[in-house]
Amino acid sequence: MKAINPTSGELIRTYEAHSEKGAEKIINSVDKAWQSWRSVPFRNRSALMLNMASLLRSERDRLALLITLEMGKVLRESKAEIEKCAWVCEYYAENAESFLQNEPISTEFKQSYISFQPLGTILAVMPWNFPFWQVFRFAAPTLMAGNTVVLKHASNVPGCALAIEELFREAGFPDNAFRSLLIDGKKVESLIAHPAIKAVTLTGSTPAGRSVASAAGRWLKKSVLELGGSDPYLILEDANLDEAARICAASRLLNAGQSCIAAKRFIVIESIFDEFSRRFTARMKEAVYGDPCHEETTLGPMARRELRDELHDQVIASVKQGAVILTGGMIPDQTGAFYSPTILSKVKPGMPAYQEELFGPVAALISARNEKQAVEIANDTSFGLGAAVFTRDVERGRWLAEEKLQAGSCFVNDMVKSDPRLPFGGINESGFGRELSVFGIREFVNIKTVAIR
């Protein structure tokens, strides 16, 4: 496996992939480790998870640079990603035991209650766009629940995959409580079929989710899927346009737009459409793209050139169908997988910019006559991961977020984001199941009924 620097196009390092026999040996070792790890008291697991949080912070600069070199994230964002991983470790170290306490239920039995027991070894298939956070937001609750983990990470971040494995070892976890497999994505189905794998979680594209869900169903194994999104942001006529433009641009450009919950479609009431477009365009133009290690850079390259080229094809196809470029829409004449911050206006149904996920720094502006039509447009998607609404009337925004917008996470006057304290996940083609909060740790446990007469 090759790690390629998307900024320079240069080879960072070549890694030897695991053979099928090697992968099977690792899975068996992780399953064996589970037999003892499941019985480790919560206080001991918590101590190790707090060790991990401390280790992440002490190694932040080294780990952040690894992220930036392998997938192109701006260095300050990489550092923030490592800090967020430490936070999720602390959160579950402090709360896992209470989340998984026995719950008494009043029945005709002398005693009846719900017990939460670990399932075993869980397979995680993780993406490159947040190569540490995506792993830790799954691994922290899963390990705290008493399970063990096998990670199949994206093939372009092998250094990150192995670094995470080593971190768990350095933090004091058993050697085989967490292991990384360097294998081709085509072999994931055989991993799911392995008898020691009790469940699988995937964060990635909708097609990848369909493939994993199909395999998990075939082998009757629990799955959690966090897939793509085409997140709508509603800008209502009473919104604070300066704040809305700032937040919308930040959401669209974070991680070079390569985020499942990044704002993608901006649905603006027609009475303020021109003014919001002007302010939003100005904010998008402020982005400074270049070497993500440089302090002045705010927008790094995309993770791979082929992904950049696919995004450009979506832009060109939308323009051919009538979309208008307000800014950007071009591949910069420089080395690396860069793409200019882009805004498409006059976006209509049928265009790629309307129907598909734009996984890069491209925004689609859509005009709506009124609130009712804005909601209809927002929900006119096969996805359902995140959504946001901007309005000075907080109660109006709350009502729209709770009752009208069809997505797993709905925010008012802020960008959609993940938080260890809040459940995270989608509906429809954005997947199923939840990560984070109490709901996340309960995804991979046996919710067991115990009744005593």
> Mind telling me the catalytic residues?
226, 260
Q: Which amino acid is at 58?
A: S
Q: How far apart are CA 331 and CA 264, in angstroms?
A: 19
- Asked if 131 and 70 touch (Cβ cutoff 8 Å), the reply is yes
Q: Calculate ∠ Cα 206-208-209, nearest 5°.
A: 60
Tokens of 207: 């097609």
Element (H, E) at 154: none
Encoded amino acid at 62, one letter: R
Q: What are the residues whose beta carbons fall under 8 Å from the beta carbon of 4, sequence distance 6 or more?
A: 10, 11, 12, 156, 304
Distance between CA atoms of residues 432 and 423, nearest Å? 12
Distance of CA 289 to the CA centre of its chain: 23
Which of the 8 DSSP states describes residue 19?
Answer: P
Pairing, β 103-104 against β 197-203? unpaired
Tokens of 97: 């035991």
Identify the CA nearest to 178 among candidates 149, 154, 152. 149
The percent of the chain in helix, strand and coil, each rounded to the nearest 5, is 45, 20, 35
Instruction: Map residue 325 onto helix, strand or coil.
Output: strand
Per-residue DSSP letter, 18: P
Give the Cα separation of 161 and 178 in Å (integer).
Answer: 11
The Cα–Cα gap between 19 and 183 comes to: 8
Q: How many angstroms separate the first and last alpha carbons of the chain? A: 58
Q: Which residues, listed in sequence order, are joined to residue 389 by a DSSP beta bridge?
A: 234, 412
Instruction: Please state the φ and ψ torsions of residue 272, each to the nearest 5 degrees.
Output: -120, 10
How far apart are alpha carbons 56 and 51 in whole angstroms?
9
DSSP letter, residue 262: S
Q: How many helices (H) and strands (E) does the chain have?
A: 15, 18
